[in-house]
Structure 1
Amino acid sequence: MASTQGVNVLRYSALVAGLVYGVYHQSSLNSSAKRTEIEHEYARKERLIEQAKAEWKKKTQPKQETSTQSSGLITNFEDPNFDLEAFLLAKAKENP
């Protein structure tokens, strides 16, 4: 009889140990999954913020006129910042 009691104690001890390990392992898996989900959500929000910044920058950036050359010379005669003297000097430099 003593040996069957010892075997039963050993069985139930292994069962309880297995249950405790299972609960611990499941909680570590859940916390790992939650952490991964939080990191993915954070990365998604970062991408959205960067995209919004780029769109805002593109929206608020002054429009480049087609009449402005790389030298910054304004060739549009109707522009209030048009400088006739600078325009004539640039044309004189183009045609030697």
Structure 2
Amino acid sequence: MATATTNVVRWSALIGGIFYGIVHQSTVQSQYDEKKAARAVSHRAHLVEEAKKAFAAKKAEKSSGSELITDIENPKFDLEKVIESWTKDQ
């Protein structure tokens, strides 16, 4: 049979190991959560940049062409261009 000192050392090592495991798991989980949050922020920023680029391209596309005249009283009014722009937008 084991002596009392051996039992104390064994139980102390077991309890110490369990405590270390809990602390280590907590540390690893918090690091993982921080990295996951940083990745989510980075991904969202990337999506915002892509949306800005797409919006700028769409805006440039609209302004680069001849200005569409929708005023019927204007002598340069062209019904065909207006209908074409409506079908293109949809």
TM-score normalized with structure 1 length? 0.61
Give the percent of matched residue pairs that are identical in Structure 1 and Structure 2. Answer: 7
Structure 2 distance, partners of 1:69, 1:39, is 44
The letter of the residue matching 2:19 is G
Match of 1:51 in 2: 52
SS of the aligned residue for 1:64 comes to: coil
Counterpart mapping for 1:7-22 below 5 A = 7-22=8-23
Where does structure 1 lack aligned partners over 5 or more consecutive residues?
A: 83-96
Runs of 4 or more, structure 1, over 4 Å off, are none
Q: Does 1:64 align with 2:67?
A: yes
| Partner Cα separation in structure 2 for residue 63 and residue 19 of structure 1 | 71
Quote how far apart the aligned CAs of 1:8 are: 2.0
1:1-96 superposed matches below 5 A: 2-61=3-62, 62=65, 64=67, 68-71=69-72, 74-76=74-76
1:9 maps to amino acid: R
> Normalising by structure 2, what TM-score?
0.64
Q: Partners of 1:52 and 1:27 in 2: how far apart?
A: 38
Q: CA deviation at 1:63?
A: 5.1
Q: How many equivalent pairs are there?
A: 75
Structure 2: which amino acid aligns with 1:54?
F
Greater mean deviation of Cα atoms: 43-52 or 53-62: 53-62
After superposition, the CA RMSD in angstroms is 2.6
Output the amino acid matched with 2:75: T
Higher RCO, 1 vs 2 (CA within 8 Å, ≥6 residues apart): 2
Shift of 1:74: 4.2
